[in-house]
Amino acid sequence: DVKVTQSSRYLVKRTGEKVFLECVQDMDHENMFWYRQDPGLGLRLIYFSYDVKMKEKGDIPEGYSVSREKKERFSLILESASTNQTSMYLCASSAVGVQGTYEQYFGPGTRLTVT
Amino acid sequence: KQEVTQIPAALSVPEGENLVLNCSFTDSAIYNLQWFRQDPGKGLTSLLLIQSSQREQTSGRLNASLDKSSGRSTLYIAASQPGDSATYLCAVAPRRYALNFGKGTSLLVTP
């Protein structure tokens, strides 16, 4: 089974702090993703990476950056945390499967509160 | 931009009922469609993935259909159980990598 793990289930940070969220997958997937989930807004894509050191912006990249130095690890960085970044953050990974489809597998999520 | 809509937003049914959750999307050019389950405060669990060339997929009591031309998918749950209570999310892949999600249907199955 694919396993996607996230470094923390719950995190509380102060406004202005630099925050690192870590994600690790154990299935050698080439693609990794960071989403945030908010009530009434659903899941929105922040950034994704299709290879080591490669990244692309998603729908809401402002205020975030990412790092992928190794294939299995994808980090989301909040350069200067703000209260509007309080959210549930979900990491996912995928690889090409049958007939070119990409099935995504998700981690358990990190609930971040910025005070 | 691909828009994904799920109806109803919430549903409450007695145990044992068969039920249908609906998903619609605005652009029929998709690679695949995926249904997920999410329990409160948890991550997403993949239930079914339908390739763009397929019409349906089945797993146990779950059956998902896809009609690309009309931009619709349905998730059918047979003989519902209280353990099926969760939020069900539909997502489409408009390009190779990312998914566009609906806002989900919150299902409550009462004993």
**Cα of B31 to nearest chain A Cα, Å:** 6
Question: For B25-38, b where at least 16 C-beta lie within 10 A, e where not — what string?
Answer: beeeebbbbbbbbb
pLDDT tens digits, one per residue of A67-109: 999 999 999 999 999 999 999 999 999 887 766 677 899 999 9
Question: Mind telling me how many Å the CA of B66 is from chain A's nearest CA?
Answer: 15
Query: Residue ranges of chain B with pLDDT lower than 50?
Result: none
CB of A64 less than 8 A from some CB of B: no
Give the whole-angstrom CA distance, residue B64 versus residue B48: 7
CB pairs under 8 A between A and B: 62
Answer yes or no: do B96 and A90 touch at CB < 8 A.
no
pLDDT tens for A24-49 read 999 899 999 999 999 989 999 999 99
Set of chain A residues whose Cβ sits within 8 Å of the Cβ of B93: 101-102
Give the chain B residue nearest A91 (alpha carbons).
B43
Question: Above 80 in pLDDT, residue A1?
Answer: no
Residue with tokens 């350069």: A79
Residue of A74, A102, A111 best to disrupt the B interface, most CBs of B under 10 A: A102
A105 contacts in chain B (CB < 8 Å)? 46
Nearest to A108 among B43, B49, B51 (CB): B43
- pLDDT tens-place string over residues B21-32: 999 999 888 888
Grade residue A2 by pLDDT with cuts at 50, 70 and 90. low
- Interface subset of A 2-31, CB within 8 angstroms of B: 4, 31
